[in-house]
Amino acid sequence: MEVKILTQHYDKPEYQSLEGYKKYEGYQQLKKALTLKPEAITEMVKQAGLRGRGGAGFPAGVKWGFLPNNGKKRYLICNADEGEPGTFKDRAMMDRAPHQLIEGMIISAFAINSPKSYIYIRGEYFESKRIVEKAIKEAYAANLLGDNILGSGFSHHMDIYSGAGAYICGEETGLISSLEGKKGQPKLKPPFPAIEGYLAHPTIVNNVETLAAVTIIIRDGVEGYRKYGTEKSPGTKLFSVSGNVVKPGNYEIPLGTPLKDVIFNLCGGLKQGRKLKAVIPGGSSAPVLNEEEAMSVNMDYEDLADKGSMLGSGAIIVIDDSNSMVELLQVLMHFYHHESCGQCTPCREGTGWLSKLSNSILEGSASLNDVKLLEKVANHMKGKTICALSDAAAFPVLSFVSKFKEEFISAATANVALQFQSKNGQSYKRG
Ligand SMILES: Cc1cc2nc3c(=O)[nH]c(=O)nc-3n(C[C@H](O)[C@H](O)[C@H](O)COP(=O)(O)O)c2cc1C
Ligand code: SF4
């Protein structure tokens, strides 16, 4: 069921070095791309239907097509911040195949006519940074980066920049602010980065996996790339599977693969005696699926949207009947409250309320009204803020509470009963 297109050589340690990468057709796609017209590459990426792998799923070629022809220097930024809880695929891509990413970036830079790119890497990824830095040096030494690349007349320079541990710097405008040396706070869109991004120049921000996949599109062509996946969600994608499965890890599968096959075949199912309870299919910001939904959904952009969730960053978090949904939500809300940058009132205050309410439901000082209040606060946080972090905190709350209401009610009321019992020796329930 796994189809290893991007990850075909990831099991070979030598693939990390330029020499090893070249043994397996490394940089052949760059050579090919440099003989094509830049617009033809953008058109190929559009026709292949490659959608952004960082979370929003926006078509990459369409985004590139938004760049204005105003003569300004264009920048390419690789988003390697990988902060979405549950996601660990970009790290694997950088660690196992740094040159695949660099090759994809040079081809993409050539397509959009950009002389300079940055890889914005998550601060905690020390080892990945070391590996990518070494690969960039190797590429410079082989004239795969720098001036007049392989005598083509195209010049491109690449740098790496470390984040400092803030989730919000994964949001593209927050990332750009951080790269500019400012506070990593998102900005209102429009203008979108393609029009006004890094240093107010037209800028394309793409995820690690999106940029690496460009190499595959050049190699296999549009039809070859579309051989896997569905009509509207073509290609393969890396999924990071974590939680209560026997074999967690990164798996590359064609988009459209049934989630139940991923969990019960690829990942070896659940531990003995455990029952599937829920699945977060696309990173912690994606609405949770209950068992019935999880068993019938296919892992593509459309089917997940039909089921009220999203593919997001491709992080599948499997939850079995030994887990408390109340506890899980409390952990998530603590995270979003901690990571809110504080610019927008609904997000700054709302995430604080969600964190406090979920905490009190879990710890024993809540009422039934607090469960209702949790939903009410989340409903006021959607679509009202500068960036999508506020929605990302609200979505899990609404799906957790609506799909597991009994669990939240019984946690809230059981805890209240205990609280009263301890004070006066009697047990009441408050609604
Ligand atoms: C709060 C927040 C955090 C994000 N974190 C990441 C991240 O760590 N990595 C990433 O690629 N995209 C992240 N994104 C999405 C980016 O803003 C942007 O859409 C993406 O980098 C575009 O690349 P793509 O089109 O190739 O997916 C985040 C978005 C939000 C709202
Ligand atoms: S939604 Fe939250 S994280 Fe995003 S800009 Fe507003 S306060 Fe900051």
DSSP string, 51-89: B-SSSS--BHHHHHHT---SS---EEEEEE---STT--H
Residue 93 Rama label (left phi>0; alpha psi -120 to 50; beta)? alpha
Which one of the ligands is nearest to 168 CA? 1
Task: Write the single-letter amino acid at 383.
Answer: G
387 Cβ below 6 A of ligand 2: yes
Dist. CA 19 → ligand 1 center (Å): 32
pLDDT in tens, 330-356: 999 999 999 999 999 999 999 999 999
Dist. CA 54 → ligand 1 center (Å): 5
pLDDT in tens, 144-194: 999 999 999 999 999 999 999 999 999 999 999 999 999 999 999 999 999
Label residue 428 exposed, middle or buried (CB < 10 Å: 0-12, 13-18, 19+). exposed
Q: What is the mean pLDDT of residues 108-129?
A: 98
Dist. CA 429 → ligand 1 center (Å): 44
pLDDT at 414: 74
pTM: 0.95
Which one of the ligands is nearest to 338 CA? 2
121 Cβ below 6 A of ligand 2: no
Q: Which residue has the higher pLDDT, 133 or 412?
A: 133
pLDDT in tens, 21-42: 999 999 999 999 999 999 999 9
pLDDT at 2: 96
pLDDT reading at 422 higher than 50: no
